[in-house]
Structure 1
């Protein structure tokens, strides 16, 4: 089991073995792949007595055009640098270009972390 950051090799080239298993707070979580569908949210407890709202699926985006912010309906995912398969599966992540009723827009929020889609129109 690897821990992030620390090398598995010593300076001499010898092997460095891990001394313990991962703690609960060191475990990662599966990514929330926000799909294009009817809005569904999930509340997740996090460390420090706080919560995160994950968007399981959504079809609404707050699109900014300069000074004005408009609620637009998402039609489909045009481009996604995170993963080429996300375009086919209509998965929305930060940086994805989406086709909305207001025009093409780039996602600036993290729907899997924030529970909402904020975007800026692409010229």
Structure 2
């Protein structure tokens, strides 16, 4: 099932046949679901000759604790607004609440795009 572009059906319910295949710039990839575990990175070619580092697995986070930033180990994912199933599967995305050696922290980076986990310490209430 194609998810991008126009609908395969007309308003009348008739079938709309594809005009052409996707061009290089229209192609997409499945999201990199960064899991908690031993550090495993993957380098992919990006558009414009650059490259991206994708974190497939990681157990280290740079946690900002007010004045300084410390490197903490990630224990598990506590909450993830992106998908409730990600908590069970220990998948880290931007905005996820993770339990670290420093305490609870919210992820501010995109590990599947940046290859690293940056987080801010959250006050426990």
Shared fold by TM > 0.5?
Answer: yes
Deviation of 1:3 after TM superposition, in Å, equals 4.5
- Name the CA distance, whole Å, in 2 between partners of 1:2 and 1:21: 14
> Residues 114 and 19 from structure 1, CA distance in 2 versus in 1: closer, same or farther, beyond 3 angstroms?
same
Gaps (5+ residues) in structure 2?
A: none
Distance 2:108 2:3 in 1: 32
Residue in structure 1 matched with residue 91 of structure 2 by the alignment? 91
Q: 2:3, 2:57 → 1: CA distance?
A: 33
Deviations 1:99-120 (A, max 9, x none): 0000000000000000000000
SS for the counterpart of 2:54 is strand
Q: Is the 8 A contact 1:2 1:18 kept in 2?
A: no
**TM-score, scaled relative to structure 2:** 0.86
Does 2:104 align with 1:100?
A: no
Superposed displacement of residue 24, structure 1: 2.2
Cα distance in 1 for partners of 2:117, 2:103 equals 15
Q: Deviations over 1:60-108 (max 9, x none)?
A: 0000012210100001100001111110110000000000000000000
Question: Which residue number corresponds to residue 32 of structure 1?
Answer: 32
4+ runs of 1 displaced by more than 4 Å? 6-10, 13-18
8 Å Cα contact 1:98-1:104 kept in structure 2: yes
Let me know the Cα RMSD of the aligned residues. 1.9
What is aligned with 1:115? 115
Match for residue 55 of structure 2? 55
Unaligned runs of 5+ in 1: none
- Aligned ranges 1:4-15 → 2 under 5 Å: 4=5
